[in-house]
Amino acid sequence: MSKEASATVGQTLDAIVDRIGREILAPLASDVDSQSRFPSEAFAAFRENGLLGAYVPSPLGGLGVNMRTLSHWCETLGNYCASTAMIFAMHQIQVACLVHHAGNSDHELDLIRQIARDQLLLGSATTEIGTGGDLGSSICAAEQTGDRVKLEKQAPVISYAEDADVIMVTARANPQATANDQVHVWVERTNATMQQIATWDALGFRGTRSLGYRLSAEVTPENVMSVPFGLILSRTMQPTAHILWSSLWLGMAENAASIARRSIRAASRKAPVPPTTSLRMAEMDEAVQQMRATLESGVESYQQILDTRNWQRTSAFSFGLAMNNIKISCSEALVDIVGKAMAIAGINAYRNDHEHTLGRHLRDAYGAMLMVNNDRIRTHNAAMQLAQR
Ligand SMILES: Cc1cc2nc3c(=O)[nH]c(=O)nc-3n(C[C@H](O)[C@H](O)[C@H](O)COP(=O)(O)OP(=O)(O)OC[C@H]3O[C@@H](n4cnc5c(N)ncnc54)[C@H](O)[C@@H]3O)c2cc1C
pLDDT tier at 4, thresholds 50, 70, 90: low
pLDDT, position 378: 94
pLDDT at 2 over 60: no
Instruction: Choose between 180 and 270: higher pLDDT.
Output: 180
Number of domains in the chain: 3
Interacting residues of 264 by C-beta distance below 8 A, sequence separation 6+: 273, 277, 281, 344, 345
From 84, 88, 122, 373, mutation site for ligand 1 pocket: most ligand atoms within 8 A of C-beta: 373
pLDDT at 3 over 60: no
User: Do 196 and 259 fall within a single domain?
Assistant: no
- Which element (helix H / strand E) includes 195? strand 192-198
> Stretch 189-217: mean pLDDT, rounded?
97
pLDDT digits (tens, 9 = 90+) for 319-346: 999 999 999 999 999 999 999 999 999 9
Interacting residues of 254 by C-beta distance below 8 A, sequence separation 6+: 75, 78, 79, 288
How far is CA 306 from each of CA 6, 60, 83, rounded to the nearest angstrom? 18, 18, 28
Domain harbouring 298, CATH code: 1.20.140.10
Domain harbouring 216, CATH code: 2.40.110.10
pLDDT digits (tens, 9 = 90+) for 101-146: 997 789 999 999 999 999 999 999 999 999 999 999 999 999 999 9
pLDDT tier at 273, thresholds 50, 70, 90: confident
- Backbone phi, psi, residue 196, to 5°: -70, 130
User: Do 156 and 13 fall within a single domain?
Assistant: no
Q: Are strands 143-145 and 122-125 parallel, antiparallel or unpaired?
A: unpaired
Ligand 1 atom index nearest CA of 160: 8
User: Do 383 and 267 fall within a single domain?
Assistant: yes
- Whether the CB-CB separation of 168 and 125 falls below 8 Å is answered with yes
Of 200, 223, 246, which residue constitutes the final position of a domain? 223
User: Do 178 and 145 fall within a single domain?
Assistant: yes
pLDDT tier at 5, thresholds 50, 70, 90: low
Interacting residues of 142 by C-beta distance below 8 A, sequence separation 6+: 149, 150, 151, 171, 172, 173, 174, 183, 185, 224
pLDDT more than 90, % of the chain = 90
Residue ranges lining ligand 1, Cβ < 6 Å: 90, 123-127, 132-134, 157-159, 205, 208, 210, 367, 370-373, 375-376, 379
User: Do 12 and 112 fall within a single domain?
Assistant: yes
Range of the domain at 182: 122-223
pLDDT at 9 over 70: no
> Stretch 216-229: mean pLDDT, rounded?
96
pLDDT, position 1: 56
Indicate the range of 44-48, 94-98, 208-212, 272-276 predicted with least confidence. Answer: 272-276
Give dist(CA 93, CA 239) in Å, integer: 9
pLDDT, position 362: 98
Domain harbouring 85, CATH code: 1.10.540.10
From 139, 248, 371, 380, mutation site for ligand 1 pocket: most ligand atoms within 8 A of C-beta: 371
pLDDT digits (tens, 9 = 90+) for 330-388: 999 999 999 999 999 999 999 999 999 999 999 999 999 999 999 999 999 999 888 87
Ligand 1 atom index nearest CA of 86: 1
Mean pLDDT, rounded, of the chain: 95
> Stretch 193-219: mean pLDDT, rounded?
98
Handedness of CA 226, 229, 230, 232 (dihedral sign): positive
Atom 21 (ligand 1): residue with closest C-alpha? 371
Ligand 1 atom index nearest CA of 373: 26
Of 223, 251, 284, which residue constitutes the final position of a domain? 223
Give dist(CA 348, CA 83) in Å, integer: 23
User: Do 335 and 380 fall within a single domain?
Assistant: yes
pLDDT, position 225: 96
> Stretch 235-246: mean pLDDT, rounded?
98
User: Do 104 and 131 fall within a single domain?
Assistant: no
User: Do 242 and 188 fall within a single domain?
Assistant: no
- Whether the CB-CB separation of 105 and 222 falls below 8 Å is answered with yes
pLDDT digits (tens, 9 = 90+) for 50-88: 999 999 999 999 999 999 999 999 999 999 999 999 999
Q: Which DSSP string corresponds to 248-301?
A: HHHHHHHHHHHHHHHHHHHHHHHSPPPHHHHHHHHHHHHHHHHHHHHHHHHHHH
Of 76, 101, 118, which residue constitutes the final position of a domain? 118
User: Do 159 and 89 fall within a single domain?
Assistant: no
Interacting residues of 3 by C-beta distance below 8 A, sequence separation 6+: none
pLDDT, position 268: 87
pLDDT tier at 275, thresholds 50, 70, 90: confident
User: Do 198 and 319 fall within a single domain?
Assistant: no
Q: How far is CA 76 from the centre of its chain?
A: 13
pLDDT more than 70, % of the chain = 97
User: Do 235 and 380 fall within a single domain?
Assistant: yes
> Stretch 187-192: mean pLDDT, rounded?
94
